[in-house]
Structure 1
């Protein structure tokens, strides 16, 4: 249950102001069809985070416990720093495809998540907790918590969120997880 709750909380916080949340706003404004956009986000996130969690699970089979502890600890500390860097969205990432709103969202979201903070966090969380299903479910729920409101209410919500504060809280959580891993706690 810890894996699920931590994964949900970290990704929901980390996603505020992230490139994929910005993509959600843009898709909602461009297409004005929330349900296919939400479905595309869900499917893309499940696929992307399942892949990332599989990589995290694989890492635990190749690295010994001491090396893994240092890699995870330093990864979480790096995530704490990275989350404080604001994201930008390329207009190229939102070009409509011939696959309609759902297909455009699916492809754009999947590609935008590649190498993104939340994908890297999913790898680290899966390695940390060793619970593939709970990490994927948690990170996916975290993405949906952050992005569904972005699709449904768009820009009005974005203007009211204290993005810097939310990122600071997420960075603090990553830092605590990193220090705990380096000291040998958790998992």
Structure 2
């Protein structure tokens, strides 16, 4: 791989891991894996993150072709500094288990709503199978649930916006590879480790590390010249 691909890969990998560990989608994957078959949850979450990463990189790659290269470079630099300060603020503001408890409460409410809707008599199950949407006949509802929760939870998230900015400044192919590997590592750990792993994670330390990394990227971007 060329130097630019390696640089994009390493930056994307480090940024994704430090952004996603302890993130809402990380905890959502851990909680879903405690209630549903792990294989389906893993496939659903990873599929969503794969699609999200590719879309984000495509947006970042297209940006310099629509906006002057120098402007996208300055925007990316500001994004890195902004996300760095945001992460540092989160590290000092939030408690250790707040995010996990918040995601667990949201999913619990969703499960209860779905559970109450299922109690429609014995003959209702066959009728539901016949009226089930075509997409859910091809794919497991659990897989689709994991996909949708992860995809919409990640949309507009800090890590997605940072991936767009990184792809605008680095080699898109390297950013895609690093992002996919980073998401695969974090999601696999969340699904296999479950609640015990989530409880052992120091959210404050991860947020501090992510904040420092974003600021380092910002400084490097600020000092680099636009080609």
TM-score, scaled relative to structure 2: 0.74
Q: Is the 8 A contact 2:73 2:168 kept in 1?
A: no
Q: Which residue of 1 aligns with 2:155?
A: 114
**What is the rounded CA distance, in whole Å, between the counterparts of 2:43 and 2:66 in structure 1?**
35
Of 87-96 and 138-147, deviating more is 87-96
| Deviation at residue 184 of structure 1 after TM alignment | 2.3
1:159 alignment partner, SS class: helix
Question: Which 4+ stretches in 1 moved above 6 angstroms?
Answer: none
Q: Which residue of 2 aligns with 1:17?
A: 22
Q: How many residues align?
A: 185
**What is the rounded CA distance, in whole Å, between the counterparts of 2:41 and 2:87 in structure 1?**
25
Q: Which residue of 2 aligns with 1:51?
A: 55
**What is the rounded CA distance, in whole Å, between the counterparts of 2:19 and 2:225 in structure 1?**
22
Cα shift readout 1:56-100 (whole Å, capped 9, x = no counterpart): 011111222332221011001111123343555333896569642
Q: Which residue of 1 aligns with 2:219?
A: 179
In structure 2, stretches of 5+ residues that fail to align are 1-5, 115-131
Name the CA shift for 1:93/1:80 in 2 (closer, same or farther; >3 Å): farther
Q: Is the 8 A contact 2:69 2:226 kept in 1?
A: no
Matching of residue 161 in structure 1 with residue 201 in structure 2: yes
Q: Is the 8 A contact 1:69 1:184 kept in 2?
A: no
**What is the rounded CA distance, in whole Å, between the counterparts of 1:61 and 1:93 in structure 2?**
44
Q: Is the 8 A contact 1:60 1:127 kept in 2?
A: yes
**Counterpart selection for 2:67 from 52, 63, 79:** 63
| Deviation at residue 44 of structure 1 after TM alignment | 0.7
**What is the rounded CA distance, in whole Å, between the counterparts of 1:6 and 1:93 in structure 2?**
37
**What is the rounded CA distance, in whole Å, between the counterparts of 1:15 and 1:66 in structure 2?**
29
Q: Is the 8 A contact 1:93 1:108 kept in 2?
A: no
Q: Which residue of 1 aligns with 2:182?
A: 142
Matching of residue 75 in structure 1 with residue 115 in structure 2: no
**What is the rounded CA distance, in whole Å, between the counterparts of 2:184 and 2:193 in structure 1?**
14
Q: Highest relative contact order (Cα 8 Å, sep 6+), 1 or 2?
A: 2
Of 148-157 and 63-72, deviating more is 63-72
**What is the rounded CA distance, in whole Å, between the counterparts of 2:110 and 2:189 in structure 1?**
19
Give RMSD over aligned pairs.
2.3
**What is the rounded CA distance, in whole Å, between the counterparts of 1:57 and 1:46 in structure 2?**
16
